[in-house]
Amino acid sequence: MYTKQDFNHDLYEICTKYHVKYQLLKNYVLQVIDGTTFIAVLSERDDVDWQQLQSELQQLQQKLPQNGAQLAESPIQQVNQLRQAGELNAAYRLLIPYAQDHLDDLYVQQSLGWLMYAYLKQSETNFPKYLKILNQLNTLIQFQFTTTDHYLQRLLVSILWSLRRVLKGDSEADAQTKQTLSNQLLPALKRFVGGASAFVTLQPETPSEGADATYGTPGYQIVKLLLAQLDEPHYFELFDFIGLTWFRPQDYQLTTYEQDKKIGTFAERTIGHYAKTLLNAEPPLATPQRMTNLSAQLKPILSQYPDFKWLPWYQSKLLVKIGQPAAAFSVLVKFAQRHQLTYWIWEAVADLSSDDDRFNCLCAALQCSTKPEMLVKVQQKIIPLLVQRQLYAAAKYELDQVIATRQAQNRPVPNNLQQFTQTNWYSATVAATDRATLTAAAKKAQRVLYADLPDTDIFVTYLNQAKGVVNFAYQDHTAYGALKNGYFYQDLLDDFEPQCYTALKVKLRADATKPERFQVFAVAAGDPQFAAKFKRTVSGTFEQVKDYGFVSNNSVLFKTKHRVSPIELESFFVNPELVQQVQVPPLADVKVTVVKTWRAKAQDWQWEVTDFIQSTPYEIEQTTFSGTFVKVKDSGFLIDAADNTRQIRVTSEMVQQAQLADLAVITGIISQKWQPKLKFWQWTLTAVTAITAPDPATTEIDIEGRLDVTRKGFGFVADYFVPAALITAKHLTANELVVGRARKSWDQHKQQWSWTVFELK
C-alpha cells in the first residue's frame, strides 16, 4: 500500500537530490502542469540532468493509483490515537501489516516502539508476559542505539527504564527469585540492545522519568542490577557484550566513602571482581578467549589509571593463563614495587623467575612475617632447591617446620617432602636454628624487582660512617635536570665500599614516604664526565675570614686591576676544620680540589674546598704614593694629582693614627688589600712617610656675588656651592649680594675638584 506519506517522502528525496522546488515537482507529477511548462520554468538551469530527472518522476507517477483514485492515508496517526486511547490491540492489528513493509521509516519505528512500550508497561508485574512481549518486540524490529534522533532516543530510554523497573522488582523478593528473573531476562535484553554496550550511556538531551545523574542512565542502572543478581554463566555472558567501556568517568574516582573505607573505586572493584571470578572459574566458563579479551581491555585502563591497587595483580595472572609469562612478569614486578612485599608476592615473582632469581625470591618469601601454615607452599618449592645447593641444615629446618605445621593441622605432609626424611643427608644433618643463612639471598631478591630500573649517575658527597648513611647528588631528569640530593643506607650495597667524592652508577628507587631517601640496587663505577660536574681542580687566592675562608679563582685578573665586577669572581668555601689543618697564609696562591655539596641550612648547592694541593705565599704588591687627602666621615681617600680617577683607600684607623687633616698632601706606602665583602682588590694606604698641612692660600679663596637658591634649599654664588644649612643659618634670600670664603672640596659625583662656601655675610 502506497500512502501519502510514502509519496511525500519519495518526492522530497528527488527535491533534495536535484535542488528543484518541491511544489513544482509535485504539480508536475500530479499533472497540475504539463511537461512543456515544467521544462520552460527550469530552462535556465544547466546543472540538471533532465533525462534522469524525468525518468525518476515517471517512476514516481507509476506508483500513484490510477483512474483518479486517491492516495491512502498513513495509518501511523490513527495507530497513535488508538494507543493513546488505550486500544492497544486495535492499534496493533492496524500497524503490523503496514509496518512489515515500512520498517525503515523512522515514524513507523517510533509508532511501533511506543505501542510495544505500552504493552511492556502494562505487564511489568507479570514477568512471563513481559518477557514474551519483549521477545515479540525483538522479532518485529531491531533498534539502533547509536541513533541521533532525539525522539527515538526518548523511546529507547523509556523502554530501558521499564526494564530497570522489572529488574529492580519487589524489594521483598529473595535473592534466588531475582537471580532467576535476571537470568531469563538477559538474553532478551542482549537481543534488544543489539549485543553492544551503547545502551549503557544512552540518555536523551532532555532526561525523563526521573533520570538522575547521581545514579546514572537507565542502561547503567540495569548493568549494576544484573552484576549483582546474575549467576556465574550469565555474569560472564553480560561482560562478553558490554566489555569494560561502560563505566562513567566518576566510577574511576574515589568517593569520600571509598576513601574513608580505604576501598578501591567502583570501576576497580567491579573489574577486579570479574577478573577474580574468571581466574577462579573452570572450563567451559574460563575460556582463553575471555581471558585474552579481558587482558587486552585491562591494558589501556592500567595505563590511564596506574594507581589502581589490585588490577595489575589480576592482569599478571591473566597473562600467565594465556601464555605470556614475560609480559606477566613485567606487570607483576611493577605491582610488587608499589606494595608491601608479602610472602605471596615473592612467591608469585619466584614462579615467573628462574635459577638464582627464583631461589632468592623464595628466600625472601620465607623472611616475611606470617603464619607458618601460609608458608607451606613456599617451603614445598624451596626445599628441593636447598638440597640441590647442598644447604642441608637450612633444608632440614624448613622440612621440620612443614612437618610440625601439618601435624598441628592433622594433615599429611606432601609426598615429595616426606621422601626427604628417608635420605642420608637428612639423618646426618643438624637442622639450622633459624633462617639466617637465607638472609643474603633474600636481600638479592630485591634486584629482581628493580632490574628494569634505569641506571642513574650519582656523586657521593658525604659518608656518615656512624649511621651508615651515604649522601649523594644526582640530576633529576623529571625536573629539567635539576640537581637534587638524597641518601641511602650503606648496608644496601652488600660488600661494596663507596668512597666520598666519587661517582657511581646505580639503580635508584625513591622511598614512598621520604622522597629524599632511596633504595639502591646494582652498584657500579661511575661516569668520569658526570663526576666532573661535581669535582674539579681550581687555582686561586686564599682569603681567611674569622676561622673559615674562601678560595677565589682568576687571581691574576684581580691583582692587575683596581676593581673587578663581582660576576667575574667565583669563590669556594673552606670550612674551619680544613683552615686549621692546612695553615695556609692569607692571600696565598693555591691549587685546590673543590666539590659541590648540599648545604642544608641554605637549602642550596655550594662549592667547597676539600683538599689543598699546593700553596705559594703571596707577596703583597706595594709602592709609594702621594696625593691629597679627602676626609669622608671617619675614613677617606687620596686623590692622585696627576690622575683624578685614581683613588687610594684610607682606613679610619690610619686617619686616627696619623692625625690626617682634610686636604692635606700625604706621601706614603700603598698596598693591595682584598675586600671580602666587596669581592675585589683595592689599593690602600698602609704607611705615612710625610704630611704637608693644607695651605689656606691654595685651598681657600674669597668670593663675592649674588646668591642663587635652588628649590632644594642649597645655592650657588657663581660656581661656588653654598650648603643649605649655611643659607638657613644666615637667613639669606635669593638674589642677595653676599661675600664670603670658599674651601676646595672633592665632588664625588663629578669626580673632580670644586669649591664649597663655608662662610657668608
Sequential DSSP letters for 273-288: HHHHHHHH--TTTS-H
* Boundary residue ending a domain (616, 651, 684): 616
Q: Examine the pLDDT at 208 and tell me if it is beyond 80.
A: no
pLDDT the model gives residue 478: 66
pLDDT, mean of residues 90-116: 90
The Cα–Cα gap between 614 and 588 comes to 10
Question: Which of 531, 558, 579 is at the close of a domain?
Answer: 531
CA angle 743–746–752, rounded 5-degree value: 120
Most confident among 270-284, 330-344, 677-691 (mean pLDDT)? 270-284
Nearest-CA neighbor of 167 among 181, 155, 187?
181
More confident residue, 686 or 554: 686
Whole domain around residue 727: which residue ranges? 697-760
User: Is the separation of the CB atoms in 226 and 186 below 8 Å?
Assistant: yes
Three-class secondary structure of residue 716 per DSSP: strand
- In this model, does residue 489 exceed pLDDT 90? no
pLDDT of residue 158: 94
Residue with cell 512481549: 133
CA atoms of 614 and 616, how far apart (whole Å): 7
Alpha-carbon distance of 627 to 664, in angstroms, equals 8
Task: Confirm if 445 and 360 have CB atoms less than 8 A apart.
Answer: yes
The residue out of 531, 559, 576 marking a domain boundary is 531
pLDDT at residue 524, as a whole number: 84
Domain-embedded: residue 71: no
Domain total of the chain: 7
- In angstroms, the CA 223 to CA 251 distance is 14
Per-residue pLDDT, 173? 85
> Is residue 615 classed as helix, strand or coil in its secondary structure?
strand
Confidence bin at 200 (pLDDT 50/70/90): very high
User: pLDDT by residue (tens digit) across 451-469?
Assistant: 888 889 999 988 888 888 9
pLDDT tier at 566, thresholds 50, 70, 90: very low
> Are residues 556 and 523 both part of a single domain?
no
Residues 686 and 542 in one domain: no
| C-alpha–C-alpha distance, residues 756 and 758, integer Å | 6
Summarize the confidence of residues 727-746 as an average pLDDT.
90
Residues 226, 215: Cα–Cα separation, whole Å: 15
Confidence of residue 479 (pLDDT cuts 50, 70, 90): low
| Residues present in the chain in total | 761
How far is residue 379's CA from residue 83's CA, in Å, rounded to a whole number?
74
Give me the pLDDT at residue 364, please.
Answer: 94
Looking at the structure, do residues 509 and 546 belong to the same domain, yes or no? no
Regarding whether 570 and 527 lie in a shared domain, the answer is no
**Is the pLDDT confidence value at 191 over 60?**
yes
Q: How far is CA 694 from CA 111, 128, 286, 628, 652, in A?
A: 120, 127, 112, 9, 19
Per-residue pLDDT at 207 exceeds 60: no
- In this predicted structure, the answer to whether residue 504 has a pLDDT above a threshold of 70 is yes
pLDDT in tens, 368-393: 999 999 999 999 999 999 999 999 99
Q: How far is CA 125 from CA 121, 191, 454, 572, in A?
A: 9, 22, 64, 89
Q: What is the pLDDT of residue 577?
A: 92
Whether residue 133 sits in one domain with residue 116: yes
Same domain for 407 and 518?
A: no
Residue pLDDT, tens place only, 581-639: 988 887 788 999 999 888 877 778 888 999 999 988 877 778 888 999 999 889 998 98
Same domain as 201, residue 107 = yes
Q: Is residue 267 part of a domain?
A: no
Same domain, 434 and 583: no
- Do residues 374 and 428 share a domain? yes
Locus of grid cell 652508577:
505
**Whether pLDDT at 210 is above 70:** no
Within-domain flag for 611 = yes
Residue 421 placed within a domain: yes
Q: How confident is the model at residue 560 (pLDDT cuts 50, 70, 90)?
A: very low
What is the pLDDT confidence band of residue 556, given thresholds at 50, 70 and 90?
Answer: very low
Do 59 and 104 reside in the same domain of the chain? no
Distances (CA, A) of 606 to 574, 581, 591: 11, 21, 18
List the CATH number of the domain containing 552. 2.40.50.140
Euclidean distance between CA atoms 452 and 508, whole angstroms: 11
Query: Does residue 276 sit within a domain?
Result: no
Per-residue pLDDT tens digits for 666-703: 999 998 776 666 666 788 998 999 988 888 888 889 99
Residue 693, classified by CB atoms within 10 Å of its CB into exposed (0-12), middle (13-18) or buried (19+), is exposed
Strand partners, 552: 541, 571
Eight-state DSSP code of residue 585: P
Q: Would 101 be classed as within a structural domain?
A: yes
> pLDDT band for position 646 (50/70/90)?
confident
Q: How far apart are the first and last CA of the chain?
A: 129
Please give the average per-residue pLDDT across 193-219, as a whole number: 76
pLDDT of residue 679: 60
Q: Which of 232-241, 477-486, 679-688 has the highest mean pLDDT?
A: 232-241
Helices (H), ranges, 288-391: 288-304, 311-321, 325-337, 343-351, 355-366, 376-388
| Cα R_g (the chain), whole angstroms | 49
Instruction: Give me 564's grid cell.
Output: 673587578
Please report the pLDDT score of residue 678 as a whole number: 64
Q: What is the mean pLDDT of residues 569-577?
A: 86
Residues 540 and 655 grouped into a single domain:
no
* Same domain for 607 and 492: no
Q: Which of 132-136, 407-411, 525-529, 604-608 has the highest mean pLDDT?
A: 132-136
Q: Is residue 330 part of a domain?
A: no
Burial of 97 (C-beta count, 10 Å sphere; 0-12/13-18/19+): exposed
* Spatial distance between the Cα atoms of 102 and 708, rounded to a whole number of angstroms: 110
Calculate what percentage of the chain has a pLDDT beyond 90: 47
User: Does a structural domain hold residue 407?
Assistant: yes
Tell me which H or E stretch contains 687. strand 680-692
Q: Does the pLDDT at position 648 exceed 60?
A: yes
Instruction: State how far the Cα of 757 lies from the Cα of 734, in Å rounded to an integer.
Output: 16
pLDDT of 66 strictly over 80: no
